[in-house]
A = this chain, B = another copy of it.
Amino acid sequence: MHEITLRTSDRRQMVDITSEVQELIASRGIGTGSVLLFVPHTTAGITVNENWDADVRHDILWALEQMVPESAVYRHSEGNSRAHIQSLLTGHSLTLPITEGKVCLGRWQGIFCCEYDGPRRRRVLVQMHISSPDIVD
């Protein structure tokens, strides 16, 4: 299994890992298939969203904070329940199709590892599946 490692710099952050994913796919010469991205953390997540205007990422992180505010009265003594909940809303596993040697994203989409309790070192596990006659595309 491959992995992408990163170090976040902020408490809340969306880190664009699109080029790292594309490079892994290219390095293995995969034409058609799929890629499974998995975040083995409980206060981070993974998603696709707009990668053009940084204000979108700002608004996403701000809105998640309105939905799950730090100021709420949580039981968990470590004080990061907010981050656990935001990671549930985002999700930890993402499967994307690969065609013509590239992960198949929309024009405005990038792949983001979402940090909700940083700064920390984070890992994204990457498992690639190449096509075979068994994949009908």
Contact = CB atoms under 8 A, between A and B. Distances in A.
A97 B84 contact: no
Interface string A99-137: 100001111110000000000000001011111101111
Contact of A75 (B55, B81, B125, B132): B55
A63 interface: yes
A19 interface: no
A36 to B, nearest CB: 6
Majority-rule SS of A interface residues: mixed
Q: Chain copies in the assembly? A: 3
B85 A1 contact: no
Nearest to A2: B137
Contacts of A30: 136
A83 B48 CA distance: 13
A18 interface: no
Given A59-B85, A134-B132, A34 B127 contact: yes
Interface of A: 1-2, 28, 30, 32, 34, 36, 38-42, 47-50, 53, 55-56, 58-60, 62-64, 66-68, 72, 74-78, 81, 84-85, 87-97, 99, 104-109, 125, 127-132, 134-137
